[in-house]
Amino acid sequence: MAAGGFCKLPNGHVVVALNLPSPGDPVGTLPGGVRVLVHAVNRARALTRLRNLGMRAVYLRGNAAPPTPDEITAVLHHPDGLVWRTTPATGPGAPELWHPIRALLRRPAAHR
């Protein structure tokens, strides 16, 4: 995992942000990847939510890339509390919108 971080909210919950390799590149040799945001009661629960979706090798070490205020707003306003988009989010045109995690998990192998 390249980077990740978390932010504790005033109500005690956390938002965890993880930069993961692209689903078609589990070793992380290709540039880019996905940024995943998870809203949960605590950091352990956030990682458990991802592991329950089949992302077994996710872990959080340190707080090198915590979620930005815009990312926190995005995940708090999503009903599942679990969103993603490709990284980097910069480039020509408007930044990519956040997607529900189901869209990442059901992507066909040809697009991964």
Domain boundaries of the chain, sorted by first residue: 3-103
Cβ–Cβ < 8 Å for 99, 37: no
Q: Is 53 helix (H, G, I), strand (E, B) or coil?
A: coil
Question: Contact, 41 vs 47, CB < 8 A?
Answer: no
Q: What is the pTM of this model?
A: 0.80
Helix (H) or strand (E) holding 70: helix 69-76
Q: What is the pLDDT along the chain (112 residues), one digit of tens a residue?
A: 457 999 999 999 999 999 887 666 555 555 678 899 999 999 999 999 989 988 888 888 889 999 999 999 999 999 999 999 887 655 666 678 898 988 777 655 544 4
